[in-house]
Chains A and B, each alone.
Chain A
C-alpha cells in the first residue's frame, strides 16, 4: 500500500525484509530475532548478504507458485479463451490437447519451473512466440518509463525538500506541503487524463498516445514519454519530498552532530547539504526500494492510457487471454523487481551503516 509509507517508519510503514526494522525491545519475552543475534554476536557481512539473497529467492518462488495457483484454480482456461465464446466443446478439447493443458497442474508447474531454472521462460499460449523474445521487446519500454520517473521524482523532490526544510514554516514550505498533499491524493489515471487534456488537447504540445522507440530518435522518444513519466512521477515526488523534509528537520533539530556542526560555525546550507542530507538520504533510499514494485504496478494503468507497448500492457492482455505462461513470466519479472529493490536497499543499508553489521 503505497501511502502507508507516508507515515514515519516507526509506526506504520511496512518494513522491508527487516534489517531496517526497529529491533524489538530487549525486555519482555525473547523473540526469535533477538535470540538469534545475541547468540552469534558479530555476524560476518557475507552471511547476512547470503541470507538476504536466499530469502529473496524464496519469495520469488512463492510468487510464481501463487500466480500459477491463482490462474489455474479459477474457472476458464486459455483454450476456452482462444477458441472464442461460440466454440464447440470438441474444438476446446482439441485446443486443450494442442496446448498440452490436459496434464495435471503440478506437472505443468514443475515443467515450467525447471524451464525457468534453465533460462527458458516457455512459449506464449496465445501467440506461440517465445516469452523471452516478447519480454525482450516489452521490458525496455517499461524500464525506461520507470527509470525516468524515479529520476524525475527524486530530482525534483530533493531540492524542494531542502528548500522547505531550510525555512520550515515559511511560504515555500507551506506551498510545497499543499502540493504534496494534493499529489498524494491524486489518482494516476486522473492525472494522466488531466495532463492529456492540457498538453495534448488544449496546448497541442505533446502527443496524447503512442511510443517512439529510443533507437528511432531520442527527442521523439522523450516527447512520447513525457506525459507518462510525469504521471508516474508526481505521486512519488509528493511522497519523497514530504518524507525527506520531515527527516531533514528531524536531523536538524535532534541530532548532536548537527549541534556540533553549527557550533563549529558552519553556515546553514553547509550543515543542511553536507551533514543532514546524507543521513536523510539513507532513509529515503528505503522508500525508493519499496517503490520499485509499486511503480512497476503503476505502469499497468499508465501504459494502458498512453498506449505504450510495455510490460503492463502485456500483462493486461495476457490476463484477459488467460495466457498463463506469459502472465507467469511477467508477474515473476514484476515481483523480481520488487524483491531486488528491497534487497538492494537492505544491502545498501548494511554497507553504509556499520551498526547493522554488528547488531
Chain B
C-alpha cells in the first residue's frame, strides 16, 4: 500500500540538484574542517592570548575575529567541525557495522536468537536517546571516546532494526533460496549475499542518521557532557557563545549555521539517495 518511491519523488521543488548540491556543500564543509590543521596562516584553536580577546571581524590575522579568550573564531569553527563530524562519522560507521550485523544475524537465525536480540533492542530504543547518552556520558566523564560510546549505544539498535527488516525482505528473493539450496554456509551467505544487498539501505539510513547524531552530539556538548572545553566542538561553541549572546550573537550564529547547513545537506542527500536507490 505504501510505496516509498512515489511519495518521496513527489517532494516538490527540491528534486533539482538534490544530490549534487548537498554533496558539494558537504565536501566544502568537511574538506575545510579536515584540512584546518594544515592551513599555515590559521592560528591554533586554543591557548589564545587574552589580550587579543573580542576582536571584531576582519581583524588582522583573524578573519572572523576572536572570542572572549582571544582564540581565533574561524579556527575554532573548523576544528570544532572536525570533532563534531569525526564523531558523527565514527558513530554511524560503528552503528552500520555492528547494527547491520546484529540485525542480519537476528533475521537469518530467527527463533530464540531473534527474540532475545530484538527484546534487548526494544529496551535500548525505549530509552530516549538523549537520556541514555547523558547517563553514559555523565558516568564516563566528558571526552571524545565517551561521546562516541554514548551515541553508538543508540545508533546500533536503530541500524539493527533496519537491517533486520531489510534482511527479512531479502529472504524472499530467489537468489537467497538458490544460495541456500546450493549449500552455501551461513556465514558466507550472510557476508557475500545478504550484506551487499543491505548496504544501500543502511548507507542511506546512515546519511539520515548523520544529521541526528550531529544534532545529539551538539546537545551533549551543549549540556557540558560532550567534548570537554577548551577543545572546540560545534555544540560547546554554541553553549559557550550563549553566555555572550546579546553582545556577540555571531559567536552563536556561526556554529549554528554550519551545524544547520551540514544537517540539512545530510538529510536532503539521504532522502534523495533513498529515492534513487529504491527506484533501482
Contacts and interface: CB of A to CB of B under 8 A. Distances in A.
Interface stretch (A86-94, A102-110, A173-181): A173-181
A1 B129 contact: yes
Contacts of B114: 31-32
A185 B259 CA distance: 8
A24 interface: yes
B8 interface: yes
Given A7-B208, A8-B4, A14-B162, A187 B259 contact: yes
B168 interface: yes
Contacts of A111: none
A2 B211 CA distance: 10
Contacts of B154: 1
A129 interface: no
Contact of B260 (A71, A185, A253, A322): A185
Interface residues of B, number: 82
Contacts, number: 243
A63 B122 CA distance: 9
Given A70-B139, A173-B12, A187-B219, A250 B127 contact: no
Contacts of B261: 185
Given A12-B205, A12-B274, A181-B267, A190 B129 contact: no
A71 B138 CA distance: 9
Interface stretch (B23-31, B33-41, B58-66, B244-252): B244-252
Given A8-B7, A14-B158, 10 more contacts: A26-B172, A62-B122, A63-B126, A66-B123, A168-B10, A185-B260, A185-B263, A187-B219, A250-B3, A339-B126
Interface of B: 1-4, 6-8, 10-14, 107, 110-111, 114-115, 119-120, 122-131, 134-136, 138-140, 154-155, 158, 161-162, 165-166, 168-169, 171-173, 176-177, 180, 201, 204-205, 208-209, 211-213, 215, 218-219, 222-223, 235, 238-239, 242, 245-246, 249, 252, 256, 259-261, 263-264, 267-268, 271, 274, 278
9 contacts: A1-B154, A8-B7, A29-B180, A31-B171, A66-B127, A197-B245, A296-B131, A300-B134, A335-B128
